[in-house]
Amino acid sequence: MYNKEKINLEFKYLSEKNVYPSHYLKVNKQSFELPNKQIKEFEIHKGGEVVVILPITKDNQVVCVTQYRVGPKLTMTELPAGFVDQGESPLQAAQRELLEETGFSGEINFVQTVYPDSYSTIKRHVYVCQNAQKLKEPNLDDSEFLKVELLSAQKFRNHLKSGKLTHLESAYLAMDFLNFL
């Protein structure tokens, strides 16, 4: 008989080894002892911290970036995002990434930290940037090719419903933070 009060849900971590080293995608195999004493291995995407920012101008235009995404093999319009560099706080990373990718800056507020995948160690920090204004031209890395686009809050909301952007849950959290849902 099922008794939810007596179920042990804890896995015991045993070991870990790297099975795919790469600059952007590291995969480790982790071994655990399950509550039933079985040993099971899981492949885990080892990643650090990333930020995603929903910048919105005074006239409720969402600052987006359109770029090609190699995973889905699609050009997608999405929110600015990037890695937190070593020695940098998530807030500093959000400010830097927004300015580098879009040339915009403004009042940045923390929304939430999410774990986007149960088989990953990535922590994604979600921010909104209110009263965003363009300060300069984007300063892109050699491998970044993107176009900055402004969408009305309503058009961005409709874009969210299409599901055709990465970091979808982060965008919904940011829109909710702004009471735009």
- Please tell me the predicted confidence (pLDDT) of residue 10: 92
Contact indicator for 54, 178 with CB cutoff of 8 Å: yes
Residue 141, pLDDT score: 87
Query: How far is residue 57's CA from residue 63's CA, in Å, rounded to a whole number?
Result: 8
3-class SS of residue 1: coil
**Under 8 Å between Cβ of 159 and 61:** no
- pLDDT score at 103: 98
> Do the Cβ atoms of 160 and 172 come closer than 8 Å?
yes
Q: Rg (Cα) of the chain, in Å, rounded?
A: 19
| Listed residue (119, 120, 46, 116) closest to 81, CA to CA | 116
DSSP for 103-160, written as a single string: SEEEEEEEEEEE---TTB--EEEEEEEEEEEE-S-----TT--EEEEEEEHHHHHHHH
- φ/ψ of 171, rounded to 5, equals -65, -40
CA distance 164 to 66: 11
Q: Which domains does the chain have, with CATH numbers?
A: 8-46 (no CATH), 49-177 (3.90.79.10)
pLDDT in tens, the chain (181 residues): 556 677 888 999 999 999 998 887 899 999 999 999 999 999 999 989 999 999 999 999 999 999 999 989 999 999 999 999 999 999 999 999 999 999 999 999 999 999 989 999 999 999 999 999 999 999 998 988 999 999 999 999 999 999 999 999 999 999 999 999 8
Q: 98 near 52, Cβ under 8 Å?
A: no
* Euclidean distance between CA atoms 81 and 70, whole angstroms: 16
